Chain A
Amino acid sequence: MKFPNIRSSLKLKFRNWAFRRTVETGTVQLNQRRIYILPTRQFFGFGFVLILMLLGDINYNLSLGYVLTFLLATTGGLSMLYAFRNMAQLEIHAGYVEPVFAGEQARFVFHFNNPGTLPRHQIHLHDDDGHKTVFDLPAQTSTPIELALPATQRSWLDSGRLTLYTRFPLGLFNAWSYIHFDVRALVYPKPASPQPLPIAAAPDGNGKTTIRGDEDFAGLRNYVPGDAMPRIAWKALAREQGLQVKEFSAQQGQQLWLDWSQLPDIALERKLELLTRWVLDADAQGFQYGLRMPDGEVIPQHGASHRAECLRRLALFGVQPS
């Protein structure tokens, strides 16, 4: 059982040793120094067929057979050039990655620009764990390509080194290149299962007064995972405006502190998950909420950027800035 692991780790070691490992910024252009080509398994199968054919030609003195064999052989050889051409001179830069919650798929976006007049066919992009996407690139256009990678843990998710390869046109040669951009996705902690907001902790209120805010409809915003079902604007969905959530304004001055120190004694990650849940709920219910963490606080506010800031603090809690 251990062998595959040893093998794959050896393979990884070899690749790290043999190929470039630098992380790149900006636009990368695939030139001949970055594109590697090797024959595939099919190549050897095809070669075997060609050798059989050549033996037949010699044995039976089939001149037209020689012609056919040579035609196939040179076609196969030329396909190497085609495989290279299918990748060459592509310009790639990484796009913005939307933050996601742990447990979701982070969608890394890469903008592939094909500056030539030749369309490119069947380019595969995959990471070392086998998450992949396949795409074509029309001539003289820039195409955004999404690669979804699973976000398992909060904090930054690095795309890692990605492999870009093509076997066009005959599958006899594999032309590939590695790209590793300094692009990362912010992964928020996974929201805990729904829990009542810590309103009891508010010095002057009880549950009823705050929840009254529910009645003052303030507007709609886009759904994010973790929003409560009753808040979904089903009518908006019926109008085909997408999944939206109703927002309610809370009373002015009604402030809610989400305080780390007030949390029950549970594991650190659970605490973060619980706070994430509360941030989402408080935002949805229209509170002015603040976040008090061991390493600082975010003063109470309301709004999308505030929410993002809070979630970011939670995501990166205890993470060394790199």
Chain B
Amino acid sequence: MKLTAQLTYGLIACILLVSAPHADHLPIWVSAECGALLLWRAYLARSGKALPPRWLLLGITVLSVMAIAATFRSLFGREVGVTLLILLSTLKLLELKAVRDATIVVYLSCFIIITNFFYSQSIPTALFMLATLLVILATWVHLQTGTLAFKPRLRIGGILLLQAIPLSLILFVLFPRVQGPLWGLPQDAYASSGLSDTMSPGTMSKLSLNDAVAFRVTFDTAAPSRDRMYWRGPVLWDFDGTTWKRGRNPTTLEGVVEDTGMPLSYAVTLEPHNKRWLFALDMPNKLSIKHRLTPDFQLLSDKPVNARIRYQADSFLSYRANPDELPRQLQRALALPRGLNPQTQELAESWRTSHPNDDAAIVREVLRHFNQGGYVYTLEPPLLGANGIDEFLFQTKQGFCEHYAGSFVYLLRAAGVPARVVTGYQGGEYNALGDYYILRQADAHAWAEVWLGERGWVRYDPTAAIAPARIESGLSAAVSNPASLPFMARNPPAWLRELRFNWDAMANQWNQWVLGYDNETQFAFLTRLGMEDISWQKMALNMLAGIFTLVGVFTLLLLRRLVVRQTDPVQTVWLKLCRKLEKAGLPRKVHEGPQDYAARVIATHPEIAADMNDLATRYVALRYQASHDDTALSAFKHAVSAFKL
């Protein structure tokens, strides 16, 4: 097999297809360089010119690697690895010398496909993978066939792929899964998006532009009303003037809830966010996976959530949380940076004077202030300076939930009421198709908790005082200028919503059954299928049995058309006539041609002379005059059927 231009185009297509999905996270110059190199290679293949000399390739390689090292400031890690792999495979195309090199390019492209799964494993990615595989297989077959045209090659590749799908399904279901990781992962192994453990102006409003799914929830019983769905995340205590932080809890005692109602039970499928916290409704009670509950009711996983996980949780919607809070914690809930925001301080102190012993009344004052002070709920608040709270409360009066939650807690602390900021998600979009709720990054929210002595920590949401619609119906109803929201977070037409729900329901199934198929799911699934005492030996045996059965079926199917004896339709009809005559005691002799045979028949049976002559003539005409005449053939057929002795 020679390295023809056709084959080179195929290899270029392979590399192009496998690296294209990486274009949006590769450094732009790498994408440009790879594109240019591929174009150059295609030009060389087309014009038949010689490949560039070795020193030039070596120079380009060294320079590119140095540039990558400079861009990433490292030569290790996942991103760098992927970048290098793509660049070097592209360069490999420029030194194709033997079929061996072409084989290496094919293997490399298979390998590059897998690197794309670090970034996306969605259904479209899977479909694109199949299309890419098809092209790779067609090119691969080209390596072995040489002269075969593109279409039959694509056919061979397609059939191979179609047959491989059921086989790999068996492998996928029954291949014993090992819980990774096998070795330490580089720092950048997982993408992280979503809530962070700090809050400053802009944190939440930035998230509200992110349409990505944070988690999905299925309630075992009826779902609570939307305004009670507060999905608790990081709790923020410490404020430095602009940023709220978690700080350190002085104790490891779990938070205590009292006077609870009935627990509400539900299942959460959490997307990986590379942080340790898990989300549950206020207040979490139990969780089905290993976790830790902090004194301020945060749920922490024992390692960062870097794969999609599913857990069962239950929560109390009515409760008294930590009525016996430690004094040291209350101290933290009152701390403020010194010498900042004098106006705010003054306002808070005035409320304290009018309600010396009634913390709840001060809370009501603050909420009334927000409600009636001419405050606007907006995604695009003006920037704030050093005395941010003062500027916001008395001048700009425009803010998003982080502004309200932050200044609410600030005002209360200034008035001597212990309070803290809680972040998380609020609400959820119901998907009737799959009967579950979708929480998106855009649903990220910040609210406050106030410690009111006997009543413990009580949740207040200052945003509800300014924009109640945000809590009851969602972001698009509450923001004054929806145009700034991502398209789907506005109010899209009904059919589009429908389509989106369909898609998400499908994606949810995909996530649970394909992407979330780990050793636990495997165990559960196989048990449901009726397999008992599941062990890896048993799975391996079943897997082999399934594969052998299927391979057997394929063997039968594949080896079916290897011998096909041709029978001529004209001859078939003629043989039928011969059989008729044979039954009448006039078998044809082996050496007799149609005319001799007819003559002999006529000699003994002159009464059928006309018929016999006619049939023999027709047969000779059809068979030996090389004319394909369907009407003549069917006439001949009829004549033979009608023929009687």
CB distance from B466 to the nearest CB of A (A): 43
Q: How would residues 19 to 54 of chain A score, 1 for a CB under 8 Å from any chain B CB and 0 otherwise?
A: 000000000000000000000001001100100110
Chain A residue at minimal CB-CB distance from B307 = A61
Assess the B516–A63 pair: CB atoms within 8 A: yes
Residues of A within 8 A of B113 (CB): 68
**A60 touches which one: B107, B189, B516, B566 (CB < 8 A)?**
B189
Those of B148-178 within 8 Å (CB) of chain A: 148, 156, 160-161, 163-165, 167-168, 171-172, 175, 177-178
B111 CB–A CB distance under 8 Å: yes
Chain A residue at minimal CB-CB distance from B147 = A136
**B168 touches which one: A49, A53, A73, A167 (CB < 8 A)?**
A73
Given contacts A70-B168, A79-B160, A116-B564, contact A60 B180 (CB under 8 A): yes
CB distance from B98 to the nearest CB of A (A): 12
Q: How would residues 167 to 205 of chain B score, 1 for a CB under 8 Å from any chain A CB and 0 otherwise?
A: 110011001011011110100010000000000000000
Chain A residue at minimal CB-CB distance from B78 = A60
Residues of A within 8 A of B146 (CB): 122
Given contacts A61-B518, A81-B551, contact A45 B160 (CB under 8 A): no
Those of A60-91 within 8 Å (CB) of chain B: 60-75, 77-79, 81-82, 85, 88-89
Given contacts A61-B518, A85-B559, A169-B141, contact A74 B167 (CB under 8 A): yes
Assess the B515–A63 pair: CB atoms within 8 A: yes
Which of B114-122, B229-237, B382-390, B425-433 is the contact stretch? Answer: B114-122
A57 CB–B CB distance under 8 Å: yes
Residues of B within 8 A of A74 (CB): 163-164, 167-168, 171
Assess the A88–B559 pair: CB atoms within 8 A: yes
Closest 10 CB pairs of A and B: A70-B168, A74-B167, A116-B562, A89-B562, A70-B171, A74-B164, A64-B121, A75-B164, A63-B515, A59-B181
Q: List 9 A-B contacts (CB under 8 A).
A: A53-B110, A59-B181, A59-B183, A61-B307, A68-B117, A68-B129, A70-B168, A79-B160, A115-B564
- Chain B facing A: main interface SS: helix
Assess the B110–A72 pair: CB atoms within 8 A: yes
Assess the B168–A58 pair: CB atoms within 8 A: no
**A61 touches which one: B172, B180, B555 (CB < 8 A)?**
B180
Residues of A within 8 A of B584 (CB): none
Given contacts A67-B168, A71-B164, A116-B562, contact A49 B144 (CB under 8 A): no
Assess the B165–A71 pair: CB atoms within 8 A: yes
Residues of A within 8 A of B351 (CB): none
**B118 touches which one: A60, A68, A115 (CB < 8 A)?**
A60
Residues of B within 8 A of A88 (CB): 559, 562
Residues of B within 8 A of A71 (CB): 133, 161, 164-165, 168
Assess the A56–B114 pair: CB atoms within 8 A: yes
Residues of B within 8 A of A63 (CB): 121, 514-517
Q: How far is the CA of A261 from the CA of B602 in the complex (A)?
A: 70
Assess the A118–B561 pair: CB atoms within 8 A: yes
CB distance from B14 to the nearest CB of A (A): 13
Assess the B103–A75 pair: CB atoms within 8 A: no
Given contacts A58-B182, A61-B518, A168-B144, contact A70 B175 (CB under 8 A): yes
Assess the A82–B564 pair: CB atoms within 8 A: no
Residues of B within 8 A of A116 (CB): 561-564
B126 CB–A CB distance under 8 Å: yes
A103 CB–B CB distance under 8 Å: no
**A168 touches which one: B117, B145, B183, B555 (CB < 8 A)?**
B145
Assess the A75–B561 pair: CB atoms within 8 A: no
Assess the A73–B171 pair: CB atoms within 8 A: yes
Q: 14 new A-B pairs (CB below 8 Å) besides A72-B133, A77-B551, A167-B144? A: A49-B111, A57-B114, A63-B121, A63-B514, A63-B516, A64-B117, A67-B126, A68-B129, A70-B167, A70-B172, A75-B164, A89-B563, A168-B144, A171-B143
CB distance from B511 to the nearest CB of A (A): 9
CB distance from B305 to the nearest CB of A (A): 12
Given contacts A70-B168, A169-B160, contact A75 B137 (CB under 8 A): yes
Assess the B148–A121 pair: CB atoms within 8 A: yes
B558 CB–A CB distance under 8 Å: yes
Chain A residue at minimal CB-CB distance from B132 = A68
Those of B541-571 within 8 Å (CB) of chain A: 551, 554-555, 558-559, 561-566
A162 CB–B CB distance under 8 Å: no
Chain A residue at minimal CB-CB distance from B521 = A63
CB distance from A177 to the nearest CB of B (A): 15
B210 CB–A CB distance under 8 Å: no
CB distance from B558 to the nearest CB of A (A): 5
Q: How far is the CA of A269 from the CA of B413 in the complex (A)?
A: 119
Q: How far is the CA of A68 from the CA of B566 in the complex (A)?
A: 41
Q: Chain B: residues with CB nearer than 8 A to chain A?
A: 103, 107, 110-111, 113-114, 117-118, 121, 125-126, 129, 133, 137, 140-141, 143-148, 156, 160-161, 163-165, 167-168, 171-172, 175, 177-178, 180-183, 185, 189, 307, 514-518, 551, 554-555, 558-559, 561-566
A222 CB–B CB distance under 8 Å: no
Residues of A within 8 A of B562 (CB): 85, 88-89, 115-116, 118
A201 CB–B CB distance under 8 Å: no
Residues of B within 8 A of A58 (CB): 177-178, 180-182
A117 CB–B CB distance under 8 Å: yes
Most buried by B among A63, A77, A118: A63
Residues of B within 8 A of A53 (CB): 110-111, 114
Most buried by B among A56, A89, A170: A170
Chain B residue at minimal CB-CB distance from A120 = B562
Assess the A81–B514 pair: CB atoms within 8 A: no
Assess the A66–B172 pair: CB atoms within 8 A: yes
Most buried by A among B141, B165, B518, B565: B141
**A45 touches which one: B107, B129, B514, B564 (CB < 8 A)?**
B107
Q: How far is the CA of A74 from the CA of B121 in the complex (A)?
A: 21
A140 CB–B CB distance under 8 Å: yes
CB distance from B183 to the nearest CB of A (A): 6
A55 CB–B CB distance under 8 Å: yes
Assess the B185–A59 pair: CB atoms within 8 A: yes
Chain B residue at minimal CB-CB distance from A117 = B561
Given contacts A70-B168, A169-B144, contact A60 B185 (CB under 8 A): yes
Those of A156-203 within 8 Å (CB) of chain B: 167-171
Residues of A within 8 A of B107 (CB): 45-46, 49
CB distance from A142 to the nearest CB of B (A): 12
Assess the B144–A121 pair: CB atoms within 8 A: yes
Residues of A within 8 A of B558 (CB): 81-82, 85
CB distance from B462 to the nearest CB of A (A): 40
Residues of A within 8 A of B564 (CB): 115-117, 140
Chain B residue at minimal CB-CB distance from A169 = B141
Q: How far is the CA of A74 from the CA of B168 in the complex (A)?
A: 6
Assess the A169–B145 pair: CB atoms within 8 A: yes
**B110 touches which one: A49, A77, A82, A118 (CB < 8 A)?**
A49
Chain A residue at minimal CB-CB distance from B518 = A61
**B566 touches which one: A42, A81, A140 (CB < 8 A)?**
A140
CB distance from A253 to the nearest CB of B (A): 47
Residues of B within 8 A of A55 (CB): 182
Given contacts A68-B114, A71-B161, A121-B148, contact A59 B180 (CB under 8 A): yes
Assess the B103–A42 pair: CB atoms within 8 A: yes
Q: How far is the CA of A58 from the CA of B117 in the complex (A)?
A: 13
Residues of B within 8 A of A140 (CB): 564, 566
Residues of B within 8 A of A171 (CB): 103, 140, 143-144
**A59 touches which one: B133, B140, B182, B516 (CB < 8 A)?**
B182
Residues of A within 8 A of B156 (CB): 169
Residues of B within 8 A of A115 (CB): 562-565
**B514 touches which one: A42, A52, A64, A168 (CB < 8 A)?**
A64
Q: How far is the CA of A62 from the CA of B117 in the complex (A)?
A: 7
**A170 touches which one: B125, B140, B514 (CB < 8 A)?**
B140
Q: How far is the CA of A260 from the CA of B84 in the complex (A)?
A: 78
CB distance from B307 to the nearest CB of A (A): 5
Residues of B within 8 A of A65 (CB): 114, 117
CB distance from A112 to the nearest CB of B (A): 14
